[in-house]
Amino acid sequence: MSVVKSTLSEEDRKIVGEALQGALVDLVDLSLVAKQVHWTVVGPRFRSIHLQLDDVVVSARQHADTVAERASALGIAPDGRAETVAKTSGIDTVGEGWNKDTQAVQILVSALGAVIGRMRERIQSTDKPDPVTQDLIIGLTADLEKHHWMFQAENG
């Protein structure tokens, strides 16, 4: 039972809730992946990639908070618990140990690509039920695409 009542129909709320929950999980996991790689990157481009990874972490965490608060505003309890993230994320796991700078870049290109693909699906699914949520997802996707471009350019 929700204490917050949404103006969306129950059917629309379900569609939007699934989109927001999926977005939240992907953003939380993206921040964790980027931070793990941040801690383990080595190589000649260490410093620039290390700093660029922090940009992704900050961005993903800010967007995760915005997504979770949107869900709450619609009466949908967001779930960013570790167990939920581990079970439902669409991002590959990061291996143990150090990551050469070129490998670190590839890990982020892959992770960002996976999240962007899923966000684009969410843009489509929220078109009719809630343009406000769709707009939020469009904006964060644009930001993720900028990070994706910048990491791709690293290994150009």
User: 7-63, pLDDT tens digit by residue?
Assistant: 899 999 999 999 999 999 999 999 999 999 999 999 999 999 999 999 999 999 999
Contacts of 42 (CB under 8 A, 6+ apart): 98, 99, 100, 101
| Whether pLDDT at 1 is above 60 | no
- Residue 91 amino acid letter: I
Instruction: Mark 79-98 as b/e (b = at least 16 C-beta within 10 Å).
Output: ebeeeebeeebebeebeeee
Q: What is the mean pLDDT of residues 134-146?
A: 98
CA 81 to chain centre: 14
User: 47-92, pLDDT tens digit by residue?
Assistant: 999 999 999 999 999 999 999 999 999 999 999 999 999 999 999 9
pTM, full prediction: 0.95
d(CA 136, CA 27): 13
